[in-house]
Amino acid sequence: MTVSRLPSAALSLKQFLHRQKVLGIYRNMLRTIRRVPDEADRKFLRDWARDEFHRNKNVTHEDAIRMMITQASNHLEELQKSLALAHS
C-alpha cells in the first residue's frame, strides 16, 4: 500500500494550473485598472473585479472554470483596448 505524502487538500495538476491562470488574470486585471484615469471608475472596476473573483472562488466544475477564465480574459482584453484607445 502506497502512502501519499501530499496533504488530502492538495490540488491536482489541472486544478493547480487553473488556479495559476486565474491568479494571473486577477493580477493583470488589477494592474490594468490602476491605469484607469478617473478615480471613481478605478474604484468601481476594482470593486467589480474583486467581487467577481471572490464570488466564484469556490467553483469546482472544470467547464465552468474554463468558461469563467475565458470571460475574464475577454474582459481584461477589452479594458486594455479601451485604455489604449483613450491614451492614443
Query: Does some domain include residue 3?
Result: no
87 DSSP 8-state letter? T
Query: Does some domain include residue 41?
Result: yes
Domain housing 31? 14-86
pLDDT digits (tens, 9 = 90+) for 35-80: 999 999 999 999 999 999 999 999 989 999 999 999 999 999 999 9
Query: Does some domain include residue 9?
Result: no
Report the C-alpha gap between 60 and 43 in whole angstroms. 29
* Grid coordinates of 28: 493583470
Query: Does some domain include residue 62?
Result: yes
* Cβ–Cβ < 8 Å for 36, 84: no
pTM, full prediction: 0.83
The total of structural domains in the chain comes to 1
